[in-house]
Amino acid sequence: MSLTKEVVLQRANAACKNTLMETLNIEVVDYGENFLTARMPVSPKVHQPDGVLHGGATAALAESVGSFASHIFTDTENLFVRGLEITANHLKSVKSGFVYAKATFIHKGRTTQLLDIRVTDEQENLISLCRLSTITLPKK
């Protein structure tokens, strides 16, 4: 059964309740054939002490959108998704507004997946470039 864009976004955002994603105000905002995009507001809540976006918050955004993408784009009816490794290269600072993380697949295997996640600001400047590997495991 193919899900509509609205249903995918609604389900993804409903899954964020009472999680780190809700704490960081991460919202899944776009979905297409081979990508998923989420956004996060940049405010003092996610700043490091010198007033710019914390790299850990950026990594949390990237891992959240990448894990959702692995869940949505792989057959996970009897499986669950877990992150294996994340890397983040932070290229530019942000003080306010929103950052957007767009996850696309480099490799979409049955057991492991590798995603490219580009984090950009509202002007589409590249803020961070992340890679996430995930694994699908059987539910017990």
What pTM value is reported for the model?
Answer: 0.93
pLDDT in tens, the chain (140 residues): 467 889 889 988 998 899 999 999 999 999 998 899 999 999 999 999 999 999 999 999 999 999 999 988 877 678 889 999 999 999 999 999 999 999 999 999 989 999 999 999 999 999 999 999 999 998 87
Q: Is 131 within 8 Å of 115 (Cβ atoms)?
A: yes
User: Residue 62: helix, strand or coil by DSSP?
Assistant: helix
Q: How many CB atoms lie within 10 A of CB 82?
A: 10
Task: Give the per-residue pLDDT at 16.
Answer: 84
CATH superfamily of 5-138: Hotdog Thioesterase (3.10.129.10)
User: Residue 93: helix, strand or coil by DSSP?
Assistant: coil
Q: Is 37 within 8 Å of 102 (Cβ atoms)?
A: yes
| Angle of CA points 30, 107, 86, to nearest 5° | 75
Catalytic residues: 63
Give DSSP secondary structure letters for 10-33: HHHHHTTTTSHHHHTT-EEEEEET
